[in-house]
Amino acid sequence: MDGRERRLHEVRAALGRLQFQQYAEKRPQPGMAELEAEQAAIQQDPAVAEAVAAWQGRDPGDPLLGRRVELWARSLRRAAVDGSPDVLRLRRELADDVVSARYDVGGREVDLGAVRDALRKEPDAEARRRAWLSYGALSRRVDGRLRELMRLRNARARAVGASGYVELALGHAGLLRDQVEATLRRLCAATDGAFTGLLDGRRVAPWDVGYLLEGQAAPPAGRFPRAEMLPRLHAWARQHGLDPDRSGISIHFIDIPYNGLSMPIDPPRDVRVLLNPGDGHLYYKLLWHEYGHALHATGNRQATAVLRQEPPVFNEAMAESLAFFTLEPDWVAAFGASPAEAEATIRAGLGAWLLWLRTRSAHALFEYGAYDDPDGDLDGAYAAAEARYLGCDEDPAPRWAANAWFTSYPVYWQNYVLGDVIAAQIHAAMRAQVGPVNGNPAAIAFLREQFWAPGGSVDWQVKVERATGRPLDAEDLIARLAAT
C-alpha cells in the first residue's frame, strides 16, 4: 500500500501539472492519457485488492492502518465501476462531444459561456428563449449514448453488490440516498415561500428565472473590483493568522471554461487556484470558495495519499466554509460600506443563492430518477423537476443530455447543496464557540484543527458531529436563508 500510494501521489502530481499546462496553453498535452490509465490501474491493482480483502474487518493493530484498508476497499469498489474499460471509453467519447459543442442561437454559433450569459443578461425574452432552446441539438445527439452509459454504470454497480449506480456513488461518500433526497426536498420546501416571493408569485417561463433572479437583482459591482481581489484576500488571510507568501498556494487569473478551479497538484507544497473573475461580490465569494479548497488541501497533515483524500461533498463543504465568511455584513463593511449597505449587499444575493441551491437540487433529483429508469421520458422528467423547484412553466424541449455533469461528474449535483448544508452547520457552531468569525484567527484555527488537519483519517460525518455537537441536518442553512 505504501508503494502504491506513493506512486499514486506522483502520477496525480504529474497529471495535475499537465492539466494546468492545458488550461494555460489551451491545447492538449501529450502523456495525459497514459497517466490517466496508470492512475486507473493503481486504483484497481489486484495485489492491493487481495491484501485489502484479506485485512478487511480484521484489526491490524493500528487504527490508521485500519482506516486505510477501509478507504482502499471503498475506492476499489468505485474504481471497478468508473474505471472499467467500457465505462471509461463511452464517457470519454461523450465528454469530447459535450466539451467541444457549439450552440446555435438564432443562426449564430456560440460557446456555452455565451448561452449562459444570454440567459442571465439578455433583456429580450425571445432572445433568451432561443438561447435556452440551443441546448436541444447537443441533447438529441448524445441522448441515446448517455442512456447507454447510465445503463452500463448501473450494471457495473450491481456487479459489485450495490443496488444501483446512484446508491454506489452516494455510498462512496458515506451517504444514503433516502437521506440525501429528504434533505434536498426539506430545504426546497422550507424556502418555497421566499423563492416564490422573489418571483412576486408570477408563473414564469424557464428562460426567465435566471434573468430575474441573477441578472437583475445582483448587488452593485463597483465596490468589489477585480483588480483589488488578491490584495484583499491576502490582507484578510494575514488577519487570520495565515501567511499567504509561504502557503504553497498560488493564484492564477486564467480564462478557463469554469468560474473557478482549485488544483491540489503536490500539496502542501503546490496548490494552484485558477479563476476567471469579473467585478462584483459574487466573484469575491468565488475566490474565497476556491481559496477554501486550497487551504483544505495545504492544511491536511496526513502522510499517505489515501488518508489525504476526502469525498467531493466534504471538499465542497470546506470551500463553502471559507466562502461563508464573505456572507457576513462585517466582511462587506470592511470595503467601506455602511452597515445598512452591507446588509443590502448580502440580501441582494439571496435570489441568486436560492436559485443556485434549487437548480442543483432539481438536477440531482432528476438524475436519481433517470438512473432508476434510463428508458423513460427524460426530457419530460427534466422539465417537471425544473418546474417544481424553479417555479417555472413545464417545457419538455430536449435539453437534459446536454448537462455535462451527467456525463463527466455523475451523481455530483447534490454535493454543492450538501456543501452549503454542512458549511452552515459548521459556521453556526464556530460562531457559538469562537465569537464573530471575521478578523478572528480562532475561526481559522477551528477549521484547521477540526477539519483540515485530520484529512481522511477521520470520517467527515464524524468530524462534523464532533465539532458541531450533532449529526448533519439542514436546519442551520434554513435558518440562515430565512435570516437573509
Contact 254, 276 (CB under 8 A): yes
CB of 288 to Zn ion, least distance (A): 11
Quick one: 198 or 319, whose CB is closer to Zn ion?
319
Q: Which stretch binds Zn ion (CB under 5 A): 204-212, 275-283, 317-325, 474-482?
A: 317-325
Contact 179, 117 (CB under 8 A): no
CB of 416 to Zn ion, least distance (A): 8
> What does the buried/exposed string (b/e) look like for 48-79 if buried means 16 or more CB atoms within 10 Å of the residue's CB?
bbeebeebeeeeeeeeeebbbbbbbebbbbbb
Handedness of CA 287, 293, 297, 300 (dihedral sign): positive
Contact 315, 300 (CB under 8 A): no
Measured from each CB, the residue nearest to Zn ion is 319
Tell me which residue of 363, 483, 362, 352 sits closest to 427, measured CA to CA. Answer: 483
Distances (CA, A) of 71 to 205, 304, 307: 46, 12, 8
Tell me the number of residues near Zn ion by CB under 5 A: 1
Q: Which stretch binds Zn ion (CB under 5 A): 92-100, 125-133, 231-239, 315-323?
A: 315-323
Quick one: 237 or 287, whose CB is closer to Zn ion?
287
Quick one: 146 or 319, whose CB is closer to Zn ion?
319
Quick one: 212 or 319, whose CB is closer to Zn ion?
319
CB of 415 to Zn ion, least distance (A): 9
Quick one: 1 or 319, whose CB is closer to Zn ion?
319
Q: Which stretch binds Zn ion (CB under 5 A): 1-9, 167-175, 209-217, 319-327?
A: 319-327
CB of 283 to Zn ion, least distance (A): 14
What is the distance between the alpha carbons of residues 399 and 131, in angstroms, rounded to a whole number? 12
Q: Dig out the grid coordinates for 184 from the structure.
A: 434536498
CB of 319 to Zn ion, least distance (A): 4
Quick one: 4 or 285, whose CB is closer to Zn ion?
285
Among 42, 87, 168, 319, binds Zn ion (CB under 5 A): 319
Site for Zn ion in 2-31 (CB under 5 A): none
CB of 273 to Zn ion, least distance (A): 11
Quick one: 129 or 293, whose CB is closer to Zn ion?
293
CB of 173 to Zn ion, least distance (A): 15
Q: Does 187 bind Zn ion (CB under 5 A)?
A: no
Q: Which stretch binds Zn ion (CB under 5 A): 4-12, 97-105, 318-326, 333-341?
A: 318-326
Quick one: 307 or 319, whose CB is closer to Zn ion?
319
Q: Which helix (H) or strand (E) holds 117?
A: helix 112-121
Secondary structure string (H, E, C) spanning 43-109: HCCHHHHHHHHHHCCCCCCCHHHHHHHHHHHHHHHHHHHHCCHHHHHHHHHHHHHHHCCCEEECCEE
Contact 437, 288 (CB under 8 A): no
Site for Zn ion in 457-476 (CB under 5 A): none
CB of 262 to Zn ion, least distance (A): 7
- The dihedrals phi and psi of 133, each to the nearest 5 degrees, come to -75, -15
Contact 69, 76 (CB under 8 A): no
Binding stretches for Zn ion (CB under 5 A) = 319
